[in-house]
Structures are given as structure tokens and as C-alpha cells.
Amino acid sequence: MSSVIAATPPERGDTDVFGTIQAAAMITRGNSVVLATPPSPAYAGSLLAAALGRSEDPEHPVLLLCPDAALEAWTGAAARAAAPGGKVVAAGPFAARAAHHLASGRISLLATSPAIGAELIRRSSLVMDKLALLVVVWPEHEAADDDLALVLAELPKDTPRVVITADPAGQAGFIERYAWRAPVLGALSASDVPSGRCRMATVAWNGRVAALGAVADLLNRDELDVWTADDSYHAEITQGLAGRGVTARILTAVEPPDGLVVYFDLPVPERLARATADKALCLVPPAAQAYLTRTVDRADPVALPGAIDAADRAILADRRQIRERIEAGIDRAAYATLAPLFDRWSGTEVATALQALWTEARAAVADPAAAPKPRAVAHPRVWIGVGRKDGASPADIFALLTGDLGFTRDKLGRIEIKDTFTLIEFTMEDDAETAVEKLAGKTIKRRRIAARIDRPRDTRKPSA
């Protein structure tokens, strides 16, 4: 059993607030926009629907770039937005799959990571001038902006772009560089200051429903108030808690009642400013903790029992298997192998080492990806004496290589920019050597370029 309480009209910062709707209207008109909301796809439903409306046919899809950890969550949100119009949304978790979706001619939106987007461009699998719209989600969580810079450098200037961020102040430079003149709308502002206190439980995006049950078990609750930003997960929340014998009261865009509220989606700052640790518990997926840290004075971590209980059950299962093996009788061949070890180490030490080997062997079987992989072939690189401190960006260098020097994308690899120099990867040694010759005398940001082949130390010829 459950109940749903929704606000009419919605409060500032919730999904239907002025700002989100205005952003969707601007996208419909073909304008670029920046949406500043708490880190949850739930706030972007109307925006995603408007973005999908820009894709009139699969030949002109929408590209959505988001952090790897949130790919499933954003793909799900886009699929819900696409359902009323019968459009197809797909995730590209790796380059080959993403390229397949683009070539299929059936999708209206591809969701993938910036790294995969950049790789698709290098493979010529993604033609940027065919995109109807580019959506960049949470650029603040990209460790380096090289991949985003490459994608945005290839994007035609007249293609609309949408930036969704939970840190508008921290991303002011990115917005100025890549979404120039786009209005910043939504629930967050640069003037928000930390206030309030809450508890937080770290969970995966796809583990939030299960985490609600773990919260109810931990706090011994038969009823649970759950706040959501929209109704996307209401059925799953109700069913998940019902399976634990817990009644859910779901609150959508309303002022929470007096008492404990579990925030399935992180709320806006003014809601958290009124929170206290005994009345607010936030589920915090990857890419969301930084927002919470900026928004509240203090967030106390809570360890949910699910993972701990699972580990305890696994240990008990191991003990049962070992006990059953001992009771089945001694394996003489195994004893002959181990007997010399007992002369040097205690039985406890030998047994502990065997347990570790057993655990590692099971992990290797369960995860084939953990097996050793063949060493990747090293591509030739060119070193140039211009870096971040000179004001250069990967986009500047990419434009020089493809525009002035005439290199095509398929001949270029990663552009790794440092403070005082940059390393440019090429697919062929001849292209790298040609680049060194062509770069001579060129300038970037009024700085004359010095260039040479970058070779590993152990392959450089000794000096005479």
C-alpha cells in the first residue's frame, strides 16, 4: 500500500518549475540553453522531451554525453521522454555498440560518455554536422575536458547545444567557452551558500529502490516517507518497499512533513537548508556527492546493511563449503602438495593463503575482463612546447592540425595537454614526422611552436 502527495503548483526547483519549462521551450525553438538543477535526471524530463522533438528523423539524432556511472540513469530518463512519441533511444556503453546504433538509422537519441563520443569522431563513425542537438550532462565530473573539447570543436556553430550542470558557478568557464550567450536557467544559482544538515547513504543509480528497503530495515520502519522530484519511479518504489512489508508515502514536489524523509532525488538548496540530520536522509549516487557537499553544512554518512549482510552471508557460505570438504575426507594428493609447507609455516598461515587464492580464482572466473589483456600498441606522439599555461586548449591544437596542416581525423589520436607542453598522438609514424615538419614556424596563442617526436626513454638513441 502507498500514497502519493503532489504539489499544485510545484515549488521552485522541482521538475515543473519555471526555468525547466522555459529551457524546454527554448530548445523547441532551436536555441542553446544551460540548465542548472540538482544532479538527477528527474529534473530534465521536459527538457529531454523537447530535445527529442528536435530529431525529426533518425538521420539527425540527438547526442547526449554524460558520465559513465550515470549512463543507465540518463538513458532511462530519455527513454521515458521518448515513449509518447514512439521514438527510439539507445545507450552506447562502448564505441562499437555506439557506432552500431548510429549506423542502424533507427535511433533518435544516443546516450554515451564523452570518451566514447570522441572515439567515434576519431573513427569517423559520428558525423557532427548531422546532429540535431548536443546535450552535455554534468561536465563538472569529467576529470579532463580533452574528450569534450574534441567533440565540441567538431560541432558546427549553428547546432544547438544544451549543458546540464549541478555546479553553474564552477562551470562558468566551460559555459562561456562552449555555450556562449546561452541563458542559464533552472533551480540553482552561483549565490547558493551551504546550509542545513542531513544524513547520506552512498548508492548506485540503479540501486536506489533497493536502498529504500535497506533504510527501512536499518531504522526498523513500517512506513517510509520518500521524496521524489518526479513520478518516474513511483511504481518501483511502492513495489520494492511492499516486498519488505513497508508502506510507502511518496512525496512529489511538496514540503515534507515533520519527521524523517528519505530523498530519492536530491532536492534544491532551499529545501536542504531547512533540513536536520534526524529528518533528512539523502540517497547519493555517483556524481551527486559533490553537489550535496556544496549545498549543506554537514552530511553524515550512513552505512546501509545490504552490502554488509551480503558479505556476511558469503563468508558463512565459504565456511560451510570448507567444513563439508573436510568431512568428506582428506585428499591424499592435496596433502602431499601441502605437507612440505607445514614444516615452514603454521597451518593457520597455509590455510589463510589458500583461502586468498581460492577467492582470487573465483573472482577471475566471475569477471573474465579481469584476465590479463594484450598490451596495447603504442602510437607515435609529437611533443610541442605549448601548453595550458599559454592559454592553449585541445580544441585550438585540433583546429590547427585539421585546418592549417590538413590532417584528417582518422590520422589523429588523443591530444594530451599539460601545463607547459602538449602530446599529440598519431596513428602512423610517417604522419607524426610530417607533423613535426609542418608545425615548424607555426604559432598558437602568439607562441611559436617547437615540435619533436616524443619517444619513450628506453628507445631513444644514446648521445655520442
Instruction: Please compute the mean of the pLDDT values over residues 121-138 and round it to a whole number.
Output: 94
Question: What is the spatial distance between Cα 237 and Cα 231, in angstroms, rounded to a whole number?
Answer: 10
Give the mean pLDDT of 65-90.
Answer: 94
Residue 186, strand partner residues: 36
Q: How many angstroms separate the CA atoms of 132 and 161, rounded?
A: 9
> 17 near 43, Cβ under 8 Å?
no
Q: How far is CA 319 from the centre of its chain?
A: 38
Lowest average pLDDT, out of 16-25, 45-54, 142-151, 286-295, goes to: 16-25
Alpha helices in 18-158 (DSSP H): 20-28, 45-53, 71-82, 95-104, 114-122, 146-154
Q: Does domain 18-186 have CATH number 3.40.50.300?
A: yes
Q: pTM for the full model?
A: 0.67
- pLDDT tens, position by position, 302-324: 988 765 565 566 677 777 788 77
Residue 225 CB contacts under 8 Å (≥ 6 apart), including other chains: 249, 251, 256, 257, 259, 260, 261, 262
Pick the CATH number of 381-459 from 3.30.1330.10, 3.40.50.10470, 3.30.1490.70, 3.30.70.330: 3.30.70.330
Q: Average model confidence (pLDDT) for the chain?
A: 84
Minimum mean pLDDT among 117-121, 317-321, 438-442: which range? 317-321
Task: Give the list of residues 6+ apart from residue 266 with CB closer than 8 angstroms, or none.
Answer: 38, 39, 40, 272, 282, 284, 288, 291, 292, 295
7 band by pLDDT with thresholds 50, 70 and 90: very low
Task: Please give the Cα distance from 269 to 295 (Å, whole number).
Answer: 6
Res 187 pLDDT > 50: yes
Q: What is the pLDDT of residue 313?
A: 64
For the segment 199-228, the average pLDDT, to the nearest whole number, is: 93
Q: Which residues contact 317 (CB under 8 A, 6 or more apart)?
A: none
Alpha carbon distance 44, 80 (integer Å): 11
For residues 1 and 242, the answer to whether their CB atoms sit within 8 Å is yes
What value does the mean pLDDT take over residues 203-226? Answer: 93
Count CA atoms within 13 Å of residue 116 on its CB side. 23
For 220, left (φ over 0), alpha (ψ -120 to 50), or beta? Answer: left
DSSP string across 431-449: HHHHHHHHHTT-EETTEE-
From 333-342, 418-427, 432-441, the region with the lowest mean pLDDT = 333-342
CATH architecture entry for 197-305: 3-Layer(aba) Sandwich (3.40)
**DSSP letter for each residue of 77-90:** HHHHHHGGGT--EE
Contacts of 198 (CB under 8 A, 6+ apart): 263, 272, 275, 276, 277, 280, 281, 282, 292, 296, 298, 299, 300
| Half-sphere exposure in the Cβ direction for 65 (13 Å, CA) | 27
Identify the CA nearest to 50 among candidates 71, 36, 39, 35: 35
Concatenated DSSP letters of 191-244: T-----EEEEEE--GGGHHHHHHHHHHHHT-SEEEEEESSSTTHHHHHHHHHTT
Q: How does pLDDT run across 251-288, given as a tens digit for each residue?
A: 886 677 778 999 999 998 888 888 888 899 999 998 89
DSSP class of residue 30 equals T
Report d(CA 77, CA 40) in Å as an integer.
Answer: 10
Residues 6+ apart with CB under 8 A from 206: 72, 73
**Can you give the C-alpha Rg of the chain in angstroms?**
27
6 pLDDT more than 60: no
